[in-house]
Amino acid sequence: MHNLTIDGAGTYEVEEGTRLVRALEECGVAVGHRCGGQAHCTTCRVEFEEGEPQVMTEAEYDKLTDIGQFGEMRLACQIVVDRDMNVSPLMTVEDQGWDDAGPDPAVTVEPAAEWFPIEELEDT
Ligand code: FES
């Protein structure tokens, strides 16, 4: 188990390997996942205060570079909880006025994930 601290919501114990977007919802935070966790919509965006993984999926890298946000935020649907983390969700049902957060993200990271060290991605 790892401690997940969510800005404005508290600290919760989360099972190792839980997709971060699902962990946030399980902790009662209605973070967006409007594409169902496919690295398309960016509504699951978070800022890390501590515990940011230094690896990234190719899908996350491609999306963040597409929108000019690489290095500025992370996509919770592309991250699994594998350590203590402290994050701020940036788009929620409440602050966006959506009817719901979006289709449920699968248990495992999609598209099928291959993680790369961020320092290698920065050089590409
Ligand atoms: S990018 Fe859509 S849920 Fe993460």
Q: What is the CATH number of the domain that holds 51?
A: 3.10.20.30
Q: Which domain holds residue 118?
A: 2-98+108-122
Reading the block at residue 116, the tokens are 């790369």
Cβ atoms of 23 and 3 within 8 Å: the answer is no
Pocket test for ligand 1, best of 20, 22, 38, 70 (most atoms within 8 A of CB): 38
Decide if 103 is inside a domain.
Answer: no
Q: Interior CA angle at 43 toward 28 and 95, to 5°?
A: 60
Decide if 7 is inside a domain.
Answer: yes
Output the CA 18–ligand 1 centroid distance in Å.
Answer: 15
Instruction: Name the CA radius of gyration of the chain, rounded.
Output: 13
Decide if 49 is inside a domain.
Answer: yes
Specify the pTM: 0.96
Decide if 92 is inside a domain.
Answer: yes
Number of domains in the chain: 1
Burial class (CB in 10 A: 0-12, 13-18, 19+), 80: buried
What pLDDT does 57 receive?
A: 97
Decide if 21 is inside a domain.
Answer: yes
Pocket test for ligand 1, best of 31, 44, 60, 98 (most atoms within 8 A of CB): 44
Identify each DSSP E strand in the chain by its residue range. 2-6, 10-14, 45-50, 55-57, 74-75, 85-89, 115-117
Residuewise pLDDT in 10s, the chain (124 residues)? 999 999 999 999 999 999 999 999 999 999 999 999 999 999 999 999 999 999 999 999 999 999 999 999 999 999 999 999 999 999 999 999 999 999 999 999 999 998 999 988 877 6
